[in-house]
Structure 1
Amino acid sequence: MQTPLQCSSAGKTAAGIALRHLKALRHAAERLVDGDDDALHDFRVALRRLRVILSAYRNVLKPASRRKMRKKLKRLARFTGPARDAQAWVLWLSERKNSAGFEHVSSVIRKLERFRVAAFREIQEKAVGRFWDLKPKLAHRLKKVRRQADVRPLFGPETAKAVSREAGSFMRLLAAYRRRPVATAGHKLRIASKRLRYLLEPWEKDFSLKYFQDLLGEMHDLDGLEIQKNPAAVLTAIKKRKAEIRDELAGGKLDDLEKFVRRRRNFL
């Protein structure tokens, strides 16, 4: 038996989801202006969720999902990357600064913190402004789609097609990562897992993908931190933690994840 969500209009439902993400993005932008450090994470997550919906359902969300708009949102996401990376590095080092061998890490933290503050200020001054410039047009277009979209195509079949595409992409990237588990392959796989998880969110709450992407996310952060100027003890700790993550991924986690995604290739 089909659920009301499956039988709903793809355009109306996808537009409604996108508008919720846009609202979350607006709230995070307001907090960024107020200097809330935690808002950066929320801003990036809401932006990523919005981009996934606009891309996955672009055929039923036009004109809101036009390539030009999606490119603007992509550039906005890239603009926030450096501040987020520095924030993650400072947190990782701060949690360990009292450990043996980390006595001289305070100078590294101060340097990264100065960079983070400067990058955060640039986001406040430029990125948030760019968001306010595009938000009214995007909101207007999404509301128009929600009002005027046809009953068909249905949301269920459209989601099934989108999930099948993303699951296929994920499986190809997973195979590439198994062959050569380097940083770039891991980063691409992590992004693919996020896209798939965001598509599944309205239908199920499963944290298999979240746990996996958190591991790869920490690996990505450590790859970036490793190339900074660090004391020898910090580099040793980074290499040790990366080895632990690789062991955890190799210990059946990738097999479990592959089974999870394979089951969802025939979603709905």
Structure 2
Amino acid sequence: MSAAAHHYLLPDGAGLAAAQALLAGHLRLDADPTESVSCTWYDTFDGRLHARGLQLVAQDGRLLLLDAAGVQVAAGPPPAPGAPAPAEHLMADDLPAGRLRDAVAPLIAMRALTAIARTRSRRRALRVTDDEAKTVVRLVAEEPSVLAGGGPPRRLAGRLTVAGVRGYDRALAAARAAIEDGAGLRAAPESLADEAVRAGGGVPGGVSSKLRVALDPSERADAAAVRLLAPLVTVIRLNLPGTLADVDTEFLHDLRVAVRRTRSAQRQLRHVFPAGELDAHRRAFRRLQQVTGPSRDLDVSLLDFDHLVGGLPGSAPADIEPLRGVLADRREAERTRMVRALRAPATAAALDGWEALLERLVHAPEDDRRDAARPIVAVAGRRIAKVHGRMVRDGRRIDATSPPEALHELRKSGKELRYLLEFFASLFPPEVVKPMVRGLKDLQDTLGRHQDRDVQVAMLRGLAGDVSAAPSGTAALIAMGSLIDRLAHEQVLARAEFAERFAAFCERAPRSLVRRTFR
């Protein structure tokens, strides 16, 4: 089809023959034989292709990349006879090499493409012809059904796709007018993929783990806390199955971010909660963070492995390869422990109990909840000012003799401040919040690089015994020594950069603005 396509809904209950008869009353048509087509539609859990106006479909086993109008952008090779259907989950490296992979891989990065819907359609291609029997417009009438849950196919609305032929723009306009005004068809409100996803109980466009809550400055602090924290429980629950199944590493990452945000809010808004109950929930969420931490650290190490070793001299990048195997084995062991912990009744109880508290929070007695009824803007402003002040104070105490732990503690305070600014950005002027976030990000990048290198060096030293026992372990240990030296040097550079970044963060003008805005 051409570079433009238009989609219409067929009348309710109209099959292919009825659709052809209806259109034949307004257009000169030739028809091709009816064919049956099976499609599996793919996207990432967070809808990265959908966000770019793209659709990936395995049509009778062949992968096709389509734009939002359903026009082909790129295609994989036809499947070999007897080849299995594409898998339920596809990583970028699973895609056939060529234009399709080149277009999709940068968009999905480390995320898996998951089968989000399956459809089966009866289709009939119709050709609008002119007086010379030349095809001037191409139509496809379609009777789609969605396959979901192992039950019988569920019929979806019939569709008509209209595409022009190069050089016949007037014919396309005339055909569309006949279809809309003569046959009375209306434009399809969504793509077939989106309709199929919705019919199967999914969410077209995927599920975002981003927190988007607009707060009213005058609303009660406990009510605002519920509106912030309830979506985070949902994020944890939605990412838990993908984490347990190890679909891709971002499920665990997003789950952990939601846990960290929850823990931050529990600390910073603690006086909107009943003190006795909150302590138990804080312990439960601390456990969630602790049991998922080692697996995430190893995920990051493996994701960054090629980048980390790429700059090593000579044969070191090849020599160090046994380390990758040791990391993978360690990750498997840690994942086993993590999965056992996440499947344990204590995890479900933690999430259920926290949700139950949020549901009744605004109706709970206020005797030990001194901030519960205060306007959220006042509570948020005070907390932001306090954490910012603590960062300025602690950062000024750091000098050349301070241990790495001092920079790590400052980084943790920076995370607290960043989460507060994310939670409450809607309450304060963007011309204050945005520059503050930018300055904080620059500082956090430096502190994060310092901390990451410290952790990586310690991890590599701790793995020396396992690496030495692997085949070619001696050469790998020598290469690891080079890597440790480089990482330690990068940590020194990050430490030297800290003073400049921190000075920019706590300049007098920004601090004055913080004092005027957050109080």
Q: Where on the TM-score scale, by shorter chain, does this alignment land: which range? A: 0.7 to 0.9
Distance 2:329 2:487 in 1: 22
Shift in alpha-carbon separation, 1:127–1:174, aligned structure 2, 3 A: farther
Could you say which residue in structure 2 is the equivalent of 1:89? 301
Q: Deviations over 1:56-90 (max 9, x none)?
A: 11211337961111122112212222222222333
CA displacement at 1:209 relative to structure 2: 2.0
Q: Deviations over 1:83-125 (max 9, x none)?
A: 2222233333321334323332111121122112221222122
Could you say which residue in structure 2 is the equivalent of 1:119? 334
Whether 1:264 and 2:485 are equivalent positions in the alignment is no
Distance 1:68 1:8 in 2: 27
Could you say which residue in structure 2 is the equivalent of 1:172? 393
Q: Pick from 222, 241, 244 the counterpart of residue 11 of structure 1.
A: 222
Give the TM-score normalised by the residue count of structure 2. Answer: 0.47
Whether 1:196 and 2:417 are equivalent positions in the alignment is yes
The alignment covers a number of residue pairs equal to: 265
Could you say which residue in structure 1 is the equivalent of 2:446? 215
Q: Contact between 1:9 and 1:149, CA under 8 Å: does it hold in 2? A: no
Aligned residue identity for 2:491: K
Shift in alpha-carbon separation, 1:179–1:155, aligned structure 2, 3 A: farther
Shift in alpha-carbon separation, 1:22–1:33, aligned structure 2, 3 A: same
CA displacement at 1:43 relative to structure 2: 1.4
* Greater Rg over alpha carbons, structure: 2
Shift in alpha-carbon separation, 1:102–1:243, aligned structure 2, 3 A: farther
Greater share of helix = 1
Shift in alpha-carbon separation, 1:197–1:133, aligned structure 2, 3 A: same
Could you say which residue in structure 1 is the equivalent of 2:116? none
Greater share of strand = 2
Aligned residue identity for 1:22: V
Could you say which residue in structure 2 is the equivalent of 1:242? 491
Q: Structure 2, unaligned stretches of length 5 or more? A: 1-213, 367-371, 426-432, 465-476
Distance 2:236 2:337 in 1: 18
Percent of aligned positions that are identical: 21
Q: Contact between 1:58 and 1:65, CA under 8 Å: does it hold in 2? A: no
Distance 1:144 1:84 in 2: 33
SS of residue paired to 1:80? helix
SS of residue paired to 2:217? helix
Q: Structure 1, unaligned stretches of length 5 or more? A: none
Shift in alpha-carbon separation, 1:128–1:194, aligned structure 2, 3 A: farther
Q: What are the equivalent positions in structure 2 for 1:150-165 lying under 5 Å apart? A: 152-165=373-386
Q: Contact between 2:391 and 2:414, CA under 8 Å: does it hold in 1? A: yes
CA displacement at 1:128 relative to structure 2: 4.9
Q: Contact between 1:164 and 1:265, CA under 8 Å: does it hold in 2? A: yes
Q: Contact between 2:454 and 2:488, CA under 8 Å: does it hold in 1? A: no
CA displacement at 1:181 relative to structure 2: 4.2
Q: Contact between 1:166 and 1:195, CA under 8 Å: does it hold in 2? A: yes
- Higher relative CO (Cα under 8 Å, sequence separation at least 6) belongs to 1
SS of residue paired to 1:8? coil
Q: Contact between 1:167 and 1:265, CA under 8 Å: does it hold in 2? A: no
Could you say which residue in structure 2 is the equivalent of 1:27? 238
Q: Contact between 2:217 and 2:377, CA under 8 Å: does it hold in 1? A: yes
Q: Pick from 240, 251, 267 the counterpart of residue 39 of structure 1.
A: 251
SS of residue paired to 1:59? helix
Distance 1:21 1:171 in 2: 29
Q: Contact between 1:54 and 1:65, CA under 8 Å: does it hold in 2? A: no
Distance 2:485 2:271 in 1: 49
Shift in alpha-carbon separation, 1:173–1:81, aligned structure 2, 3 A: farther
What is the RMSD computed on CA atoms of the aligned residues? 2.6
SS of residue paired to 2:271? coil
CA displacement at 1:41 relative to structure 2: 1.4
Aligned residue identity for 1:83: S
Distance 1:144 1:64 in 2: 15
Q: Contact between 2:298 and 2:327, CA under 8 Å: does it hold in 1? A: yes
Could you say which residue in structure 1 is the equivalent of 2:128? none
